[in-house]
Amino acid sequence: MRRTLVIAAVAAAMAGGLRAQTVPDNSQAAKIDVGYRRPPTFRIDPFTNLHVPHWGFVLNVGGTAANNSVNLNDVGALIFLSGEDTLRWVNGLDALGLVSQGSGLKGNGEAQAGIYIGGPIGARVRVGLSVMGRSYGSVLLDDDAVALLRDGNGSRDEFTLGDSDGAGLATAEAGAHGLYRLGPFGTIDGVHLILGAGVRYVRPILYGSAQSVLNNGGVVRLTGDSISATVQIESFQTAGLFDGDVKLNDGGGLVGDFLARVEWPTSGLALEAMIANVGAVSIGEVERRTATLDVQTTNLEEVGDVLDTLELRLQDTTNITVTLPRIARLSASAWANRILQLDLIGTLPFGSDFDLPATVDVWSTWRFIPTVPLRAGLVFGGHQGVGFSGGLGVETRNFFFNVAGRSLGGLFSNATGASARLDLGVFF
Amino acid sequence: MSYSIRVQFLLLLAGALSTACEPASVTEAENQLGRGGERIAEYVLPVVQDTFKVESLLDSSVVVVTPDSLLGIRLDSRSLVYGVGFFAPFVSFGDSLPIVAFQEIVQDTASDQLDFGDLEDVIRQIDINDARLILSLSNTSDVEAILVDFSLAAAELDATGQLPSPLVYEPPGSPILIPVAEPGTNALRLSANSDTSFTLQGGSLVNLIVHMVLDGRRAAVVGDGILTTDDLTGQIDASDVITVQTELVAVLDFTVPDTGLVFTTNTTQDGLSIKSEEVPQLLQRLERADVLSEVLNSLPFGTELEIAIAPGDLGNDDVFSHPDAVVLAKIVVDTSVVDVSGQLSSAQATTAEFSLVRDEARALLQDRFTASIRVRLMGAETSARRGAVRAGTAVAIRSEARIRLRLGASQ
């Protein structure tokens, strides 16, 4: 966190002096509506368009995906070798070296697309309806499981699946959200308090997950004397997910979103807390499959025979309940000078069936032209370490356009993740 | 936006990104995947952990264990049924002794009836020290029968399975005769209406029979003697018989030659089935492959093991002389401690390690390879190179492979 603050301070100083919270009445902060002050987010934010003070609609699409090991150049190399039919399994062993010891392979992704329609009712209330499609996914291949192939069993002979798991969910949803603005308190330039809440009905479309059934992922022991493996994997998935005859799931659930924001309009200072995706979704007619590897042998060939017959066998169909990726987002926003706005955003996951990481975003928004914000930033945390963000917006009375992207874990082709978001709005 | 449109968008995005990041050459792509840094990955795998019992080399139907726990091979047994009804006229006169000389086949062993399994090559090279002739005799008459100067000998049968005429016992000039008589006499009495059974030591005779058969000759054990009686009061019916049943057991008690006893066994095994085009790359990464073997030898012999491998299924061909063969190692297991009768006193354990480098491992990477083990048994001086194999005698082998691959970085 200290590093984050230092970088933010340096960026502001380079822009021409640090005078947060001392912006005059005719500052840009006062001219930019609160609806456009919030920087874009690549993760779920049901209130993002609700702040816009005009009736209209916004189309948006975006997503983010990252992992801690493989960058775009690596993916390109794999695709190239595969296309040339020269992809060898030693290349796979080489690639396993990209998974750093102790970390395992971690990956996550979110994507969304939809339409928002809404606007103000009076001076204090804003309401909006949205129809969205969303997907969430995460995978963790425990380092203990990777180590067997990556490092071999020369120095250790026992391995497990550990906490390895994976899950993915695609949903369709419809929601209604509202904001209520209180204030100013004290003086005409006093603080405003904005409270928001909303509810979304989420219907599952596709679902899949897999994890170990045994404690600690079971045990695989490989020595010069013998091989023993006791591993059991259980998966839940939409019927026909992997054989092309998909039968969409039924079920559904209500989730809630909550927001509280305090603003000092003329100074541009704002603090916000948002909790989103609070709820669970029931998913009906999910296939439950299991695969069991239970072998004790001194013969490597026997292991191969067992693996050849290993498959996820259908056990039954059942109904399950999935807790959506809940996040708590805490943010602070301030103006450093007439053209520069700084935002610090922490996104913390809690209580989810998906292993999504915590991140800290630092945004700098430069308004050399008030309606054309240029954005640059850094993102810390996640699975990938440091990332770089950028964006461009056009924010007029009747037209809203925003595009933003992130390169995670490195720049461009060295990135181990990427994010993109596009908003296109029309207001009346 | 529908789900499918969204997926297409993401695929397009991913495709565009990855296409932009594709390398210009295979080498560049391989180096890219190796950017995780050079490392040595060591894989330890079990190769063999098994106990090879001598019994397993034989057809279980012919394996016997002698009362003194030695392992033996039972040769096909046969019953000789000798009618004694022709004595009846003599008995009715009651004043003279009936005497009948006989030379009858009591054991006829054709080569297809002699099954030494995988030990045939071994048996060819050795002399059997110990063999048991188990005779079961039965007399159904009311008269005590006497076998006088009864002995067993070996003879070669003609093509029709008949004794040659004139009859010549083997080896010609100095035939091996095993007398069958009560101690201190030249006669064997068979009481009226009785069964009796006894075991004779017949190592030299059985050794002769076995080698005759292995040489493709049809050999027989011939009973030679005189049948008579001194009981002139009993009753003999026309249907009365004397039955002689012979069972030959060749005990695995033998003396190995000075040069040792050599035999070879081939086994065909599945390889790692690496695609042929991948093999050079993999061999390039192979820094070292060590095979560590521990052998516990409870044979009453010392053992030298030579192992060779060659690609493909070679059946029983000589792998050692195959042009693509790689001779992996010679493992010498010290001579076991045996007593003067050749029986094991103390087993010997030996550890051996050998390495494969690069091309030597090529055969293991293919679909099938043939491994040949050449075994040389060496006799112990304490028993004058004689060894007697107990039931359960085995060679226990545990082998593990340690394969070290250089991975990562630019190769």
Tell me the per-residue pLDDT of B341-380, one tens digit each, with 9 for 90 and over: 778 888 888 888 888 777 777 777 777 888 888 888 888 8
How distant is the alpha carbon of residue B137 from its chain centre? 32
- Could you say which DSSP state residue A162 is in? T
Give the integer Cα–Cα distance in Å for B283 and B273: 14
Evaluate if residue B91 carries a pLDDT over 80: no
DSSP three-state, residue A237: strand
pTM over 0.95: no
Percentage above 90 pLDDT, chain B: 0
Give the integer Cα–Cα distance in Å for B332 and B306: 9
Residue B70, burial from CB neighbour count under 10 angstroms (0-12, 13-18, 19+): buried
Lowest average pLDDT, out of A45-59, A61-75, A107-121, B266-280, goes to B266-280
Tell me how far apart the 2 most distant CA atoms of chain A are, in Å: 82
- Joined tokens for residue B288: 């070292």
Lowest average pLDDT, out of A1-15, B23-37, B151-165, goes to A1-15
Q: Residue A155: which pLDDT band, with cuts at 50, 70 and 90?
A: confident
Evaluate if residue B86 carries a pLDDT over 60: no
Query: In the structure, how many helices (H) and strands (E) does chain A have?
Result: 7, 18
- Could you say which DSSP state residue A98 is in? T
- Joined tokens for residue A265: 């309009």
pLDDT at A204: 94
| Chain B, window 282-311: residues with a beta carbon less than 8 angstroms from a chain A beta carbon | 282, 285, 292
- Joined tokens for residue A219: 């045990």
Yes or no, beta carbons of A298 and B2 under 8 Å apart: no
- Could you say which DSSP state residue A384 is in? T
DSSP three-state, residue A218: coil
Using CA atoms, how far residue A321 sits from A2, A45, A166, B133, in Å, is 39, 23, 16, 80
Q: State the number of CA atoms in the 13 A half-sphere of B358 facing the CB.
A: 3
Q: Which residue has the higher pLDDT, A277 or B145?
A: A277
Yes or no, beta carbons of B35 and A227 under 8 Å apart: no
Q: Measured between beta carbons, which residues in chain B are less than 8 angstroms from residue A244? A: none
Q: Residue B171, preceding bond cis, omega within 30 degrees?
A: yes
- Altogether, the residues listed in chain B come to a count of 411
Which residue matches tokens 């004689």? B386
Give the integer Cα–Cα distance in Å for B382 and B379: 9
A183: Cβ–Cβ under 8 A, 6 or more apart, which residues? A190, A191, A192, A193
pLDDT at A3: 44
Nearest CA to A388 among A364, A424, A372?
Answer: A364
Yes or no, beta carbons of B29 and A113 under 8 Å apart: no
- What's the average model confidence in pLDDT over A340-365? 91
Residue A155, burial from CB neighbour count under 10 angstroms (0-12, 13-18, 19+): exposed
Yes or no, beta carbons of B46 and A90 under 8 Å apart: no
Disruptive mutation site among A93, A130, A248, A295 for chain B (greatest number of B CBs within 10 Å): A93
Residue B18: in which H helix or E strand, if any?
Answer: helix B3-20
Residue B96: in which H helix or E strand, if any?
Answer: none
Percentage above 90 pLDDT, chain A: 48
Angle (CA) B161-B167-B168 rounded to 5° is: 105
Mean pLDDT of chain A: 86
A354: Cβ–Cβ under 8 A, 6 or more apart, which residues? A108, A136, A137, A138, A167, A169, A324, A325
Lowest average pLDDT, out of A178-182, A197-201, A246-250, A369-373, goes to A246-250
- Could you say which DSSP state residue B281 is in? H
The residue of chain B with its CA nearest to that of A101 is: B36
Yes or no, beta carbons of A224 and B402 under 8 Å apart: yes
DSSP three-state, residue A178: strand
Give the integer Cα–Cα distance in Å for A153 and B401: 11
The residue of chain B with its CA nearest to that of A76 is: B22
pLDDT at A270: 92
Nearest CA to B205 among B147, B135, B155?
Answer: B155
Using CA atoms, how far residue A99 sits from A53, A254, A329, A335, in Å, is 47, 38, 29, 40
Give the integer Cα–Cα distance in Å for B76 and B112: 10
Lowest average pLDDT, out of A42-46, B107-111, B222-226, goes to B107-111
Report, in this order, helix, strand and coil percent for chain B, each rounded to 5.
Answer: 20, 45, 35
pLDDT at A18: 37
pLDDT at B206: 86
Q: Residue A26: which pLDDT band, with cuts at 50, 70 and 90?
A: low
Evaluate if residue A14 carries a pLDDT over 60: no
Q: Residue B92: which pLDDT band, with cuts at 50, 70 and 90?
A: very low
Residue B177 burial (CB count, 10 A): 16
Q: Residue B14: which pLDDT band, with cuts at 50, 70 and 90?
A: low
CB A194 within 8 A of CB A179: yes
Task: Outline where A15-164 has alpha helix (H).
Answer: 28-31, 34-37, 72-83, 89-96, 143-150
Yes or no, beta carbons of A151 and B37 under 8 Å apart: no
- Could you say which DSSP state residue A351 is in? S
pLDDT at A168: 94
Give the integer Cα–Cα distance in Å for A241 and A251: 17
Tell me how far apart the 2 most distant CA atoms of chain B are, in Å: 126
Yes or no, beta carbons of A224 and B22 under 8 Å apart: no
Q: Measured between beta carbons, which residues in chain B are less than 8 angstroms from residue A77? A: 22-23, 28-30, 32-33
Yes or no, beta carbons of A154 and B43 under 8 Å apart: yes
pLDDT at A410: 85
Strand order in the sheet with B261-270: B261-270, B368-378, B302-311, B326-333
Strand order in the sheet with B394-407: B39-53, B394-407, B286-297, B348-356
Residue B68, burial from CB neighbour count under 10 angstroms (0-12, 13-18, 19+): exposed
Mean pLDDT of chain B: 79
Highest mean pLDDT among A110-124, A220-234, B45-59, B200-214: A110-124
- Go through B77-105 and write b for each residue having 16 or more CB atoms within 10 A of its CB, e for each that does not: ebebebebeebbebbeeeeeebeeeeebb
Q: Residue A361: which pLDDT band, with cuts at 50, 70 and 90?
A: very high
pLDDT at A325: 92
Give the integer Cα–Cα distance in Å for A97 and A147: 9
- What's the average model confidence in pLDDT over B167-193? 88
Q: Measured between beta carbons, which residues in chain A are less than 8 angstroms from residue B21? A: 72-73, 75-76, 413
DSSP three-state, residue B238: coil
pLDDT at A393: 94
Yes or no, beta carbons of B6 and A95 under 8 Å apart: no
Q: Residue A184, preceding bond cis, omega within 30 degrees?
A: yes
Indicate the Cα dihedral angle B70, B76, B82, B83, nearest 10°: 130
pLDDT at B10: 53
Nearest CA to A80 among B28, B275, B409?
Answer: B28
Give the integer Cα–Cα distance in Å for B100 and B275: 78
DSSP three-state, residue B32: helix
**Closest approach of chain B CAs to the CA of A36, in angstroms?**
24
**Closest approach of chain B CAs to the CA of A60, in angstroms?**
9
pLDDT at B76: 65
Q: Does B35 touch chain A (CB under 8 A)?
A: yes
Domain annotation for chain A: domains and CATH numbers: 2-68+103-427 (2.40.160)
Residue B158 burial (CB count, 10 A): 10
**Closest approach of chain A CAs to the CA of B352, in angstroms?**
14
Handedness of CA B15, B20, B24, B30 (dihedral sign): negative
Evaluate if residue A190 carries a pLDDT over 60: yes
Yes or no, beta carbons of B33 and A94 under 8 Å apart: yes
Evaluate if residue A347 carries a pLDDT over 60: yes
- Sequential DSSP letters for A305-340: HHHHT---EEEEEEEEEEE---EEEEEEEEESSSSE
pLDDT at B375: 81
- Joined tokens for residue A138: 């995460």
- Could you say which DSSP state residue B120 is in? H
B291: Cβ–Cβ under 8 A, 6 or more apart, which residues? B47, B328, B329, B353, B354, B355, B356, B399, B400, B401, B402
Evaluate if residue B110 carries a pLDDT over 70: no
Lowest average pLDDT, out of A300-309, B12-21, B70-79, B165-174, goes to B12-21
The residue of chain B with its CA nearest to that of A100 is: B36
Evaluate if residue B56 carries a pLDDT over 60: yes
pLDDT at A23: 44
**Closest approach of chain A CAs to the CA of B331, in angstroms?**
19
Interchain CB contacts (distance < 8 Å): A and B: 160
CB B236 within 8 A of CB B76: no
Task: Outline where A66-197 has alpha helix (H).
Answer: 72-83, 89-96, 143-150
Evaluate if residue B385 carries a pLDDT over 60: yes
pLDDT at B8: 56
- Joined tokens for residue B39: 């490392």
Give the integer Cα–Cα distance in Å for A214 and A396: 57
